[in-house]
Structure 1
Amino acid sequence: MITPHRTEFLTDSYGRTIKSLRMSITDRCNLNCIYCHNEGSIGTTGEMSVETISNIMHVAAGFGVNRLKISGGEPLLRKDLEDILVSLPPFKDVSMTTNGVLLRERAQSLKDAGLNRVNISLDSLNEGNYRHITKCKGGIFGKVIDGIRAAVDVGLTPVKLNMVLLKDVNEFEVEDMLSFAREFHGDVILQLIQLMDFGDVACYHVDVDEVERELELKAGCVQVRELHHRKKYLIDGAEIEFVRPVDNTEFCANCNRLRVTADGKLRPCLLVNDNLVDVSHASVEEMSDLFRLAVSRRVPFYRKLKEI
């Protein structure tokens, strides 16, 4: 499919122009993490075909979207992931978030198919802790570590390690994770992630303000990323970012991302389920109008909270 030439961009009523898509290609997962929110999904049926995914992405590219993050569930459970990557239009950046369990065997083929980099979930370097968090069997932890090393070896970099902070579970492991990241000489970045309010997880919430204060004290340099005004801390040769998607108005105010569910619905906001737009059976021509409809429904989540 040839991407139509357009000068139109998708800008919502709050002045936020869509430049990025996050697409779930499956709800299936081979782990069962205690905090998982499944991309905000409330349950879907079926998965999009390669053709449908390609059509969605070509339409998005026609509106100026130039970045894609592939997610799940666990995207590596789809054996046609390489076919999906090959079918995409040329983007500035194509990344994927994965738990890394199946990554070692496919890192090279994913790179060859057009994947630029990966985010890998790793909440603990203690195998017992890891098994508790992911509810997995023995042997999985080692596969994840091998997947990280394989990703670095083939150039899926920078690899970002996603560590969801959990009170009394892994909050004391940040220094160990930083030491692990340093082993890769800049090819691995640690991302600390605030726990989101899905399910019965209140007991795991960490004081994120205190975490940021500690990072600032230790950092030799603090930078601010343009997207979401997210801070990056450089600590003794390791880079660490802190992601606060919930109690952070700037996260919403600077959001330039539209999401796509595994069954083909455009999701204007991760934290809202009542404004989705189904494009799974739409023609390419119809998709353009459905994209416009989805963007017209975008309201910053922090604003909706104020109205409650």
Structure 2
Amino acid sequence: MVLLDKFGRPFLKLRIVVNDVCNFSCIFCHFEGQPRVVGPKLNADDYGFLAETLAKIGVYDFKLTGGEPLLRADIVDIVRRMKRGSVKISMTTNGFRLAELARELASAGLDRANVSLHVADPDKFSKVTNTPRGWYKRVLEGIDVAHQAGIDIKINAVILRGINDDGSSLKSLVKLASSVGASLQLIELMPVGSGAKIFNELYSPAENMIAHLLNMGARPMYTRKDLHNRPVFYVGGVKVEIVKNWNNPYFCAGCTTMRLTSDGKLKPCLYREPAADLYRPIKERNAEALIREVARVVYLREPTFKLSYSSL
């Protein structure tokens, strides 16, 4: 059984915020659309129950985010408890602790790590993330160890005007991704959280990066229908995904994802407020109540950006 919303979009993927703290302070951080200090957290057993229950309604793809998920002392146990059957577990991380935890995470069943590395330049990296310059090298070490441990690596880069949206910066990122066997994901800046404060100054449309890719000889491969209708290119031995999320109805039309805050609230979209509190049914191990609440929120889902109310 798979749940469909009123627009025919299936619910297939869940982004899970596992904590509300981070040791980086990126200039655009949206913190997954939730406050930085919230209520009590779910534990590893809770997440295991959640994954087991949602798999019954066709959700097999879970992304662990934060905050910085690797700052949780039990993050390896969370991955281990959630990983079962056909379930896929990925994680978005700043990579700071990846070198020390990658082998344990791989053993626990982590399939992929999306590492935030927005520019292949230590000085620019330091300014974007508000971290010491030397942390850039530490992130690279983490990527290398994770790759050797068998974890698929995808480098996340938020597109920022005047910082990394030029052809030279893109070539450097592609070269870096190629050297570590990673794919690359170019993400438009979102006017959420800290991103709202710098949006007018630093927003650069994804079309600019597509133009650079084509100038580099990139070959269009396909469109990811299962995830926001993302266009995918291939250049220099690297797969490059374009995440054009802002004011893009085609992106919303292909959305198969919802979000869970670190205190168990279900959000139908980054731009929406929580629509259900799943904390109690998860803690009570009430699968029926959990599925009922999830089904209710799926029914309420609507695209944030629409072509028209009659065409989606």
| TM-score above 0.5 | yes
CA apart distance, 1:9: 2.1
Identical pairs, percent: 31
Partner residue in 1 for 2:116: 121
SS in structure 2 at match of 1:171: coil
Q: Retained in 2: the 8 A contact 1:219–1:233?
A: no
SS in structure 2 at match of 1:303: coil
Q: Deviations over 1:68-126 (max 9, x none)?
A: 11111100011101111121233342111100000000000000001111100001221
Q: Deviations over 1:220-262 (max 9, x none)?
A: 4211223322112212322222111122212111111121111
- One of 153, 162, 169 as aligned partner of 1:168: 162
Partners of 2:236 and 2:51 in 1: how far apart? 40
CA apart distance, 1:305: 9.5
List aligned pairs for 1:170-209, cutoff 5 A. Answer: 170-172=164-166, 173-184=169-180, 187-198=181-192, 199-201=196-198, 202-209=200-207
Pairs aligned (count) = 296
Partner residue in 1 for 2:247: 247
- One of 19, 31, 37 as aligned partner of 1:26: 19
Partners of 1:23 and 1:98 in 2: how far apart? 13
Partner residue in 1 for 2:130: 135
CA apart distance, 1:306: 7.5
Provide the aligned C-alpha RMSD in A: 1.9
Partner residue in 1 for 2:299: 296
SS in structure 1 at match of 2:280: coil
Partner residue in 2 for 1:259: 259
Deviates more, 1:32-41 or 1:8-17: 8-17
- In structure 2, stretches of 5+ residues that fail to align are none
* Aligned amino acid, residue 52 of structure 2: H
List aligned pairs for 1:1-308, cutoff 5 A. Answer: 8-43=1-36, 44-88=38-82, 89-157=84-152, 159-172=153-166, 173-184=169-180, 187-198=181-192, 199-201=196-198, 202-224=200-222, 225-227=224-226, 228-273=228-273, 275-282=274-281, 283=284, 284=286, 285-303=288-306
Q: What is the TM-score of this pair, normalised by structure 2? A: 0.89
Partners of 1:214 and 1:12 in 2: how far apart? 36
Partners of 2:179 and 2:296 in 1: how far apart? 46
* Aligned amino acid, residue 17 of structure 1: P
CA apart distance, 1:51: 2.4
Q: Retained in 2: the 8 A contact 1:68–1:91?
A: no
* Aligned amino acid, residue 90 of structure 1: G
* Aligned amino acid, residue 115 of structure 2: I
Runs of 4+ in 1 over 6 A off after TM superposition: 304-307
Partners of 1:293 and 1:178 in 2: how far apart? 42
- In structure 1, stretches of 5+ residues that fail to align are 1-7
Q: What is the TM-score of this pair, normalised by structure 1? A: 0.91
Q: Deviations over 1:31-87 (max 9, x none)?
A: 000000000113423321222222222221111111111111100011101111121
Q: Deviations over 1:152-200 (max 9, x none)?
A: 101101x11001111112223111111112213xx20111110011220
Q: Retained in 1: the 8 A contact 2:232–2:240?
A: yes
Partners of 2:184 and 2:253 in 1: how far apart? 24
Q: Retained in 1: the 8 A contact 2:175–2:236?
A: no
Partners of 2:61 and 2:100 in 1: how far apart? 25
Partner residue in 2 for 1:4: none
Distance 1:82 1:304, change over 3 A: farther
